[in-house]
Amino acid sequence: MPYSEKLADRVRIALEDIAKVEEKEMFRGLTFMVDDKMCICIGADRIMCRIDPAIHDDLLDQRPCRSMSMKGKEYKGFILVDESDVASNRDLDFWVKCCLDFNPHAKSSKKKKKVAVKVRKTAAAAAGKKKISPAKGKIAAAKKKAKPARKKGVQAKKVVPPKKVGQAKKVAPAKKIGRS
């Protein structure tokens, strides 16, 4: 992934005093994650800053930067700054500070494991009967209709449909599977 190593080194130095900084290659560049949240992304000739959406428009008016857009949609809170516009450490520190100020309020995109399963009450459950979700009820009904469990090594009996109405069903004997 092509990104400016020089700019990445400058951002590393700016973030060296921050705890929980992680670097990941993504978005066609190198992304600096702070507390498992995207903070700054380094590209070939620019940085992408994740800032507070409330100050997005003010920064566009005050600083040389542009809003990030994909497929014609503008993303508030994401600003692109050309490498030439962060040539001085003072300018780079301004953008790093904007990113770090918003970071505690930013949402993490990291997937968290679900701890508990939410069970919805059915009409029967509300009447004081066993609590069961509609999905679980359908699964339980399907299991009742399913064939009973087989013993290990014994093939299930095959049910042969009757040829005439009123004729009894013929059941084939169970066959042993495995060693004789």
Which domains does the chain carry?
A: 5-105 (3.90.1150.30)
DSSP, residue by residue, 97-156: HHHHHHGGGSPP-------S------HHHHTTS----HHHHHHHHHHHHSPPPPPTTBPP
Strand order from edge to edge, sheet including 37-42: 21-26, 29-34, 37-42, 46-50, 73-82, 66-70
Q: How many CB atoms lie within 10 A of CB 17?
A: 7
How far is residue 142's CA from residue 124's CA, in Å, rounded to a whole number? 18
In this predicted structure, what is the pLDDT of residue 120? 47
Which residue matches tokens 């959406």? 53
In sequence order, the 6+-apart residues with CB closer than 8 A to the CB of 94 are: 63
In this predicted structure, what is the pLDDT of residue 2? 83
> pTM for the whole thing?
0.58
CB neighbour class for 63 (10 Å; exposed up to 12, middle 13-18, buried from 19): middle
Instruction: Walk along the chain (180 residues) in steps of 10 and give the mean pLDDT of each run.
Output: 86 90 86 90 91 88 86 89 90 92 82 51 53 54 56 60 59 62
In this predicted structure, what is the pLDDT of residue 143? 55
Both tokens of 116, joined, read 């508990």
In this predicted structure, what is the pLDDT of residue 117? 47
At 63, is the secondary structure helix, strand, or coil? Answer: coil
